[in-house]
Structure 1
Amino acid sequence: MEAARAIPTSAPIELQTFARVEDRQRLTPPTMTAFRNLCRHWGLANAEAAALLGVSESTWDRIKRGSWDQPLSQDQMTRASAAIGLYKGLHLLFADDMANRWPRLPNSEAIFGRRSPVEAMVEGGIPVMLDTRRYIDAVRGGL
């Protein structure tokens, strides 16, 4: 009987998480670039952008100016990720400017309660942001 060959193993790959400060430090700059761009495309007011990201308006002003030099928190990364995923999903769903108009339009779906998705997400925080992203993914057949 042949001796079993040792199967080479590699070191386990550490998954990227929002819990690890090292990951958040690396991910914050591109996340903020993407989030600033979607805020501009959606025409968000300072208060709306700050609320979606979970920061004060004065912190949002520093972020917009590029003078924010610390990693986002796990909560803030989750918020930004949900918004960026929603932005991407909308651009996959709509081939025109509706992708950027949709977040500001009143919506009769139950999760929005006749408010715009932006209003609902500002009021409902992370749970509604994630529900909105899942809703768009489901509408476009991604779930």
Structure 2
Amino acid sequence: MQHPATARQAPPKPSSRDLSAAGLRAFFNIARDWGLSTDEQMVLLGAPGRSTFFKWKAAPETADLKRDTLERLSYLLGIYKALQILLPAVAAADAWVKKPNSAPLFGGRSALDRMLGGNVADLVAVRQYLDARRGGWA
């Protein structure tokens, strides 16, 4: 039997504020890489008010995001990661979201156009499309 002092304890779960800050920092880096406008960023985040958006951008560590926004961030990070895997050339991965796409899901429009539909379901659809392309669960 292990001595209680040497027993491994699970690390503490990150707080909602920690998750919010990390997610926003990653999102703003992705937005820069993808060349997104402020309005596009706001739609992808679920249309927060302008003052809220700029507060998040200036000080992500102060944000305590709602579940909907955290869910959006999770899908966007997954989309970004899937593109890095599918298109190892960074420039190609970053450009993909704005290129017209003939897949039925996009109907000749870009993945970004689909994601800017404003619904979480639009992000889910793009994420599932990319997961299927790389042979993952769809």
- Segments of 5+ residues of structure 2 without an aligned counterpart are 1-9
What amino acid does structure 1 have at the position aligned with 2:62?
A: D
Equivalent-residue separation in structure 1 for 2:83 and 2:125 (angstroms):
14
Q: Tell me whether 1:115 sits opposite 2:106 in the alignment.
A: no
> 1:25: which partner in 2?
17
| Residue number in structure 2 paired with 1:91 | 84
Tell me the alpha carbon deviations over residues 34-65 of structure 1, each in whole angstroms, 9 at most, x when there is no partner: 11100000000000001001123332222222
Change (3 A) 1:93 1:74: same
What's the CA shift for 1:105? 0.9
TM-score, structure 1 as length reference: 0.78
| Structure 1 stretches lacking a partner, 5+ long | 1-12, 17-21
- Residue type at the aligned position of 2:21: P
Q: Partners of 2:44 and 2:18 in 1: how far apart? A: 21
Give percent identity, aligned residues only: 34
Number of residues paired by the alignment?
124
**Counterpart check, 1:133 vs 2:127:** yes
Partners of 2:60 and 2:135 lie apart in 1 by 39
Q: Quick check: which has more Rg, 1 or 2?
A: 1
Kindly indicate whether the alpha-carbon contact (under 8 Å) linking 2:102 and 2:109 is maintained by their aligned counterparts in 1: yes
Q: 1:32 to 1:45 in 2, by over 3 A?
A: same
RMSD over aligned Cα atoms? 1.9
TM-score, with length taken from structure 2 = 0.81
Deviation of the 1:115 alpha carbon: 1.8
Query: Does residue 1:39 correspond to 2:31, yes or no?
Result: yes
Partner of 2:7: none
